[in-house]
Amino acid sequence: MPELRQDPITKKWVIIATERSKRPSDFPIKQDKKKGGNCPFCKGNEDKTPPEIMAYREQGTNRDTPGWWIRVVPNKFPALQPGASEPEKQNFYLTRPGAGAHEVLVESPEHNSSLANHSTQQIREIFHAWRDRYQALVNQDEIKYIQIFKNEGAVAGASLEHPHSQLIATPLIPPVVAEELTGSQSYHETQGKCIYCEMIKQETQEKTRLVAENEHFLVFCPFASRFPFETWVITKQHQASFEEIKDEQLQDMSEIIQGTIQKTAGLLNYPPYNMVLHSAPVGYNNAAYYHWHLEIFPRLTIVAGFEWGTGIIINPTPPETAAKYLREVSIDHGQEKEELSWQEIH
Amino acid sequence: MPELRQDPITKKWVIIATERSKRPSDFPIKQDKKKGGNCPFCKGNEDKTPPEIMAYREQGTNRDTPGWWIRVVPNKFPALQPGASEPEKQNFYLTRPGAGAHEVLVESPEHNSSLANHSTQQIREIFHAWRDRYQALVNQDEIKYIQIFKNEGAVAGASLEHPHSQLIATPLIPPVVAEELTGSQSYHETQGKCIYCEMIKQETQEKTRLVAENEHFLVFCPFASRFPFETWVITKQHQASFEEIKDEQLQDMSEIIQGTIQKTAGLLNYPPYNMVLHSAPVGYNNAAYYHWHLEIFPRLTIVAGFEWGTGIIINPTPPETAAKYLREVSIDHGQEKEELSWQEIH
């Protein structure tokens, strides 16, 4: 019998479709061959992007020239742009200027690198830069929410293959975040606790959905997983906003995310995936009920007519099965393969 | 400047990304070659599906044998199955059996046919069968909502290429439907009118987003379109549930949907698409505030990290642009091409 499971925060149901139950080998991944070539994010091509907003670079090197290891630039085709954003009635409808920001964070000067094969130090620099840009943008007028995300692979929405993440700052609290706030605030009002902290406690006790753990972070497959092999990376310490992440947490976050990506890569042959930050809106840093985390999901299934019509997502792989595979996969495989391609590009 | 637009019913915002503005030729569609072969939905292969629930067939022919022109069977890998569905606490979480129904409606005995090239009479039979199944399922216990949808093309989630639509009946009112009910009910309380009827009035006056019209139906690109070339097909007469559609409406619905599919096919080279029925839940047939309709969207963009994190969808094609293209495209092209392949298979 298939099972309906409710996300305890948003109260949304997913269908765990046991009749379609899927193992890793049931999701054949066709590797996109990286084309390389005329890439605007490669070192030496700095003039192919808008002028850099920020970079971590060797002393004595100039803006918009090589010498950087992390580089942040405005998106050339921005979804939102700086400006004021007053809602305006347009006959029957409501519209407002698309004000905000849209930045690209180039994660490495090397085209063929990835989160699975960077040095842990480089990954730490990426998340350090996420924090820098987050902290810079919360102070800008009009910005209510900062969405940092990573699309890896064409199927997951990456239009450029060079490793990068993106940041879109919005002039309103987005609906997904509003739902999380409503659900977690309501839990806090009735139970006097942070629902995310309670979830950490529950997952640590139950263990069946745990994937990995270190001093500051936990990785688990959520009870109401929407996607096969979906994982959440959550800070054990209560913290509403990613803005407040401390240096020692950054280190642990880098290690555990790299491990998770390597496990997923080893198990599913480097699937396309999205990695999505969920953090408190601007001004909510002290919220006792909200708790920032990252959601990572390989793109193995297709969200089709039923999901769009209902908002109920069908997931063929129970999270307990996914977590068991992820716990047991050796990341040596991934690392070995990756170290090879890492050597190739040097 | 990009523009944020609010869906007047759900109050959700979309980004119309003018900086990324896209014309039909910017979406190259790679045609999947139809493989045919050992298809469980083809005539003669009736024993490859579970026993039929219903069929429109020639007099004197037997169940589960050829002679049908529409055939409804249970999905072999159901997302939901008949049974009781009591919620149950599982430690911290809530779960319930995946009770409901999952049926496949085979739209033709011919593998290579499609909504674009069926006779209008055949399309009428498809929607007639939708109504039959809808009316049968509303009377079953446990069923609160009936979702009928069509996934066309692998990118849109179709795992079998033979033309078919699907029906999934759920034991709860899904979140997307609940949002529509809340939004439309609230509008009705303050304005005393059906918001969908008002939208029909507005679109008919404004004309810029209109695509087609006949006596009973209107097709338009919604103001807050989430997808390039998204269209809504709506009955002009106020009607909460698809269950109540009348014969004369079925005829008009068939003609206008075929025209819309042919226009989309001609403009975008037969793109993969989803077609999704939005209808009132079981027991809401008299709702003065809800209004059933169909949403059709070609799958030309990828819903990626930003959309999953925020619920705000980025659409590179303004609906006014899409509607203009759809109004102006001649459907002769589509028909000519299709008539050819229709002849081929006879």
Is 60 exceeded by the pLDDT of residue B213?
yes
Q: Which residue of A has its CA nearest to B1?
A: A98
Which chain A residues have a beta carbon less than 8 Å from that of B27? none
Res B217 pLDDT > 80: yes
Q: Could you give the CA distance from residue B334 to residue B117 in angstroms, rounded to a whole number?
A: 9
What is the rounded distance in angstroms from the CA atom of residue B9 to the CA atom of residue B181? 8
Name the residue among B301, B173, B131 with its Cα closest to residue B227.
B301
| pLDDT score recorded for residue B151 | 98
pLDDT digits (tens, 9 = 90+) for A3-41: 999 999 999 999 999 877 788 888 888 777 777 778 999
B162 pLDDT tier (thresholds 50, 70, 90): very high
In the predicted structure, residue A122 carries a pLDDT above the cut 50 = yes
B27 contacts B300 by C-beta, under 8 angstroms: yes
Least confident of A59-68, A179-188, B82-91, B322-331: B82-91
pLDDT(B256) > 80: yes
Confidence of residue A94 (pLDDT cuts 50, 70, 90): very high
Closest by Cβ to B80, choosing from A15, A95, A99? A15
B238 noted as active-site residue: no
**Does A46 have pLDDT greater than 50?**
yes
Of A8, A12, A81, Cβ closest to residue B93: A8
Burial B279-300, CB ≥16 within 10 A → b, else e: bbbbebbebebbbbbbbbbbbb
pLDDT, position B19: 76
- In this prediction, residue A320 carries a pLDDT of 97
Distance from C-alpha of A313 to C-alpha of B149, rounded to nearest angstrom: 14
State the catalytic residue, choosing from A118, A162, A164, A291: A164
Test B147 with A6 for CB contact under 8 angstroms.
Answer: no
Residues of chain B with C-beta less than 8 angstroms from the C-beta of A309: 147, 149, 174, 176-177, 276-278, 295
Contact B79 A20 (CB under 8 A): yes
* pLDDT confidence bin for A55, thresholds 50/70/90: very high
Instruction: Work out the pLDDT band at A346, boundaries 50, 70, 90.
Output: very low
**Mutation target among B308, B314, B317, B320 for the A interface, most CBs of A within 10 A:** B308
What pLDDT sits at residue B342? 31
CA distance, residue B79 to nearest chain A CA (Å):
5
User: Inter-chain contact B92–A198, Cβ cutoff 8 Å?
Assistant: yes
- Tell me which DSSP letter residue B81 carries: B
Chain A neighbors of B145, CB-CB under 8 A: 310
Cβ of A6 and B156 within 8 Å?
no
**Residue B150 to residue B209: CA distance in whole angstroms:** 24
For range A236-263, the mean pLDDT: 97
Q: How far is A331 from chain B (nearest CA, A)?
A: 25
Is the pLDDT assigned to residue A177 strictly greater than 70? Answer: yes
Catalytic residue among B102, B164, B278, B293: B164
Q: Cβ of A312 and B274 within 8 Å?
A: no
- Mean pLDDT on A147-160: 95
Q: Is residue B340 pLDDT above 70, yes or no?
A: no
How far is A78 from chain B, CA to nearest CA, in Å? 6
Q: Which two tokens stand for residue A138?
A: 């919360």
- pLDDT over 70 at A344, yes or no: no
Question: Could you tell me the pLDDT band of residue B145, with boundaries at 50, 70 and 90?
Answer: very high
Residues B38 and B17: their CA atoms lie apart, in Å, by 44
**Residue with more model confidence, A338 or A224:** A224
CA atoms within 13 A on the CB side of A87: 10
Q: What is the mean pLDDT of residues B14-23?
A: 86
Chain A residues whose beta carbon lies within 8 Å of the beta carbon of residue B181: none
- Choice between B189 and A339, residue whose per-residue pLDDT is larger: B189
Q: What integer pLDDT is reported at residue A244 of this predicted model?
A: 97
* Average pLDDT, integer, range A168-196: 98
Residue carrying the six token digits 């409710």: A6
| Residues of B with Cβ-Cβ distance to A233 under 8 angstroms | none
Please tell me the distance in Å from B105's CA to the nearest CA on chain A: 14
Return the pLDDT at B332: 62
Q: For residue A20, which residues of chain B lie inside 8 Å, CB to CB? A: 77, 79
Q: Do B306 and A98 touch (CB under 8 A)?
A: no
Report pLDDT for A334: 43
Least confidently predicted of A157-161, B8-12, B60-64, B130-134: A157-161
CATH 2.40.50.140 fits B3-19+37-82+96-344, yes or no: no
Q: What is the residue-averaged pLDDT of chain B?
A: 93
- Superfamily holding A3-24+38-84+93-344: HIT-like (3.30.428.10)
| Residue of B184, B203, B206, B204 whose CA lies nearest to B195 | B184
- Supply the pLDDT for residue A332: 62
Residues of B in contact with A96 (CB under 8 A): 3-4
Distance, in Å, from the CA atom of B208 to the CA atom of B206, rounded to the nearest integer, reads 6
Interchain proximity B8–A305, CB inside 8 Å:
no
Q: Is the pLDDT of residue A339 over 50?
A: no
Residues listed for chain A: 346
CB of B287 closer than 8 Å to CB of B240: yes
Q: Torsion angle, CA of B334/B339/B344/B346, rounded to 10 degrees? A: 140
Please determine, for residue B334, whether its predicted confidence score (pLDDT) is greater than 60: no
Q: First-to-last CA distance in chain A?
A: 52
A176 contacts B4? CB cut-off 8 A: no
Cβ–Cβ below 8 Å for A175 and B151: no
| Mean pLDDT of the region B260-266 | 96
Res A19: pLDDT = 76
Question: Average pLDDT for residues B38-54, to the nearest whole number?
Answer: 96
CA distance A251 to chain B (A): 24
- Give every CB contact of residue A80 below 8 A, 6+ residues apart in sequence: A98, A99, A100, A101, A102, A168, A169, A170, A171, B2, B15
Dihedral in degrees, nearest 10, Cα atoms B114, B117, B120, B121: -70
Per-residue pLDDT for B13 more than 50? yes
Instruction: Tell me the chain A residues in contact with residue B92 when contact means C-beta distances shorter than 8 Å.
Output: 8, 198-199, 202, 223
Q: What is the DSSP letter of A218?
A: E
Contact A113, A70 (CB under 8 A): no
Would you list the domain boundaries of chain B? 3-19+37-82+96-344
| Residue-averaged pLDDT of chain A | 93
- The whole-number pLDDT of residue A335 equals 46
Give the integer Cα–Cα distance in Å for B208 and B323. 7
Separation in Å, CA of B337 to nearest CA in chain A: 27
Mean pLDDT of B154-171: 95
Instruction: Supply the DSSP string of B180-245, one letter for each residue.
Output: HHHHHHHHHHHHSS-HHHHHHHHHHHH-TTEEEE-SSEEEE--TT-SSTT-EEEEESS--S-GGG-
- Token pair for B6: 């609010």
- Strand A13-16 with A313-315, pairing: parallel
How many A×B Cβ pairs under 8 Å? 232
Q: Would you list the DSSP string of A145-187? A: EEEEEEEESGGGT-SS-S-EEEEEEESS--HHHHHHHHHHHHH
- Are B1 and A83 within 8 A, CB to CB? yes
CB contact under 8 A, A224 and B93: yes
